Structures are given as structure tokens and as C-alpha cells.
Amino acid sequence: MGTGKRGLLAVAVAVVCAVTVLGAPGAAFASPEPTPTGTATPTAGAPALPSTATADKNLEAVRAQLETLYHDAAVATDAYNAAEEAARKQSAEIVELAKKIVAGQEKLAELKNRAGAAARAQYRTGGLPDEAQLMLSDNPSQFLDGAGRVRQGQRATKGLIGQLTRTQQDLEQYSKDASAQWAKLESGRKVKAAAQKKIEKQIAQAEKLQSRLEKKEKARLEELERQAAQKAQTAWLDTGILHEIDGAASAQGKKAVQFATAQISKPYVWGAEGPDSFDCSGLTSEAWKSAGRPIPRTSQEQWKQLPHVPVEDMRPGDLIIYFSDASHVAMYVGDGSIVHAPRPGRTVTLAGAGSMPILGVVRPDA
């Protein structure tokens, strides 16, 4: 078995052990019972209570599992948001197509009326050839003038028939396009429903795992999370990166930062775009919309579509994309800090820019 597989197996075993211990009555993290007066102390052979180091190790396993669950929920949230955005666009396109179909039908009715009038006028001439009508006419000059008008009318009728044909073809195409958009809308609905189901499942599992912890254990778990974030931030700062980052925010960037920081303390809710709650990309997209620069809704599309800039060149207002799958996004606010909506159970907050693995930086107003 390779080193990578052994590592994964070790983590899996640790997680299973942690869940088992946390779920058992009288969990291993409970405070030891005081020794009754006048009784002997436990013998050397009695089971020893876990040390703080052991307790922290088990909590680290829980923390790792929670990170995985919330990360998977974030990926599913991106899928949900992408489907939601696509649905909005498809619905708008269907509305526009419906307007075109109505207008086309009205135009077709008008053209048919005009074609009918032209046909009736031609019928009244008796359908005789121009030569015969010239010979029978009492006023050849007047007839020739009339014949010219008839030829003009024939040409107009021919053009009318062409318009009718094109309008009918347009209507057929509009109908096909509308049907295609309905099909996409239905497919997106299924993707959205599947993503929602996964989000709710991952969050429910995370909440269940946390519910098994005692109050002291939850507090210690939060402390371990803070320590892990601080350790990552310190390592990032130790590279000397802040000595290179000195870009000033653009006018739009300042507006985006002002909007994002004004949302601090509002809760994270997956799929939310404000005004009372946000998810990570909901916060960044709404911040830049407020600055007059609409950007893609999801962190993955923000990473794909927006111009990339080197980390050392970033400036306040730029977006930092995190994790290899671009599943999280935050806004850089300067001095090595970000504002972001972290995950379910948390609120919009400031954090260290290096507290999570950075994939890259994008600039909405490049």
C-alpha cells in the first residue's frame, strides 16, 4: 500500500474512532469522577483517563471531518447557485421568446390580411393577360398607366409572400428555441434539487457530529479551529508576502469593500445573496454589483471568468479564491485580511487571507 493510501487509512480510522468515542455514553472527554473519601486510589491496572493531548487528537479528527462535510456542502452550494443563475437567464430568454412569438403572430395575421386584399384585387381584373386588356381598352394610355401600377402591385405581392414565409420561419425557430430553453430549465431544476439535497445532507451530518460534543468540547473545538487558521496565516505572513502587496484599491474596489464589510455579523446561509444573510459568493457578487460591476454568481465561475492577478499584486476589492476546486471565495480588504462568509453556523467576518489554501486571485475591475 502506498504512503498516500496509508495516510488516508490512518485519517479514516481516526475519524471513526472519534465518532465512536464521542457517541458513547460517558464520553472520553467527560470530567473524571472525584475519588470518594476513604477509598483507595485506582490501581495501576485500571483504565487511564485520556490525556489532554489524546482529547485534542480526537477533536482534531472531528475537526477534519467537519471540514470535509462543510467543504462538500460548499461545492454543492456552488452547483445550486449555478443552476439558480442559469434558471434565471433561461426564464428571461423564454419570456423574450414568448414576446417575439406574440409579435410574430400579429405580424403574420397582418401580412395574411394584406395578401388576401392583393389576391382579391387581382381577381377583379379578371385575370386577362396585359396584351388582351390593352386591345380591349378604350383608353390605351390610361391602361398602360394602370398596367404599370399592376406590375408594381405584383412585385409588392411577391415581396409580401416573401415576408410571410420569413415570418413563419421565424415563428418556427422561436418555438424551437423556447422548447430548448424549457428543456434546459427542467434539467437545471433537477441539478438544483440534487445539489440542495446534498447540501442539506452534509450540513445535517455536520450538525449531528457537533451535537455529540459537550459544551467544553465544543469550545475546545472552536479553539483548535482558530489555532489552525492562525497557524496557516502565520506561515503565509512568514513568506514576507505583505512586503510585496501594496496595491491601492480602485474607486469601485473601495465601494465593494465598504459593502462587504458592512455585512459583518450577518449569518451565512447557503444560496443567500442578502440583504440579511449571505453565502461566500453571494457576498462577493453582491458587493461588486453594489460597486456597479456585476460579476458571476459562483466562486467557480468567478475563478473561470474574471482576470487573474498574482497574489503579490492584489489590492483591496480583489477576490481570493480558495481550495483546488475553487469552492470558496473571499474579498481582500488590505493588511493581510479578508472579509468572507465562512460556512453554515458562522457569520460574515474578517479573517487572515492566508488562513485557507489559496488557489489564486481575480480582479473584477481589471
Q: Catalytic site residues?
A: 280, 328, 340
What are phi and psi for residue 26, nearest 5 degrees? 60, 55
Query: Which distant-in-sequence residues (6+ apart) come within 8 Å of 96 by Cβ?
Result: none
> DSSP secondary structure string, 221-286?
HHHHHHHHHHHHHHHHHTTTHHHH--PPPPHHHHHHHHHHHTTTTPBB-TT-BSSS-B-HHHHHHH
Say how far residue 280 (Cα) sits from the centre of its chain.
Answer: 10
C-alpha span between 325 and 364 (Å, rounded): 20
The DSSP bridge partners found for residue 338 are 332, 351
C-alpha span between 16 and 20 (Å, rounded): 6
User: Which of 68, 84, 52, 87 lies closest to 19, judged by CA?
Assistant: 68
Query: Which distant-in-sequence residues (6+ apart) come within 8 Å of 334 by Cβ?
Result: 249, 257, 315, 316
The DSSP bridge partners found for residue 319 are 331, 362
CB 346 within 8 A of CB 268: yes
Query: Which distant-in-sequence residues (6+ apart) come within 8 Å of 214 by Cβ?
Result: 27, 29, 30
**What cell numbers appear for 234 in the block?**
502565520
Amino acid at 23: G
CB 181 within 8 A of CB 90: yes
What are phi and psi for residue 308, nearest 5 degrees? -90, 145
> DSSP secondary structure string, 306-345?
SPEE-GGG--TT-EEEETTTT-EEEEEEETTEEEE--STT
> What is the Cα gyration radius of the chain?
35
> DSSP secondary structure string, 51-106?
PHHHHHHHHHHHHHHHHHHHHHHHHHHHHHHHHHHHHHHHHHHHHHHHHHHHHHHH
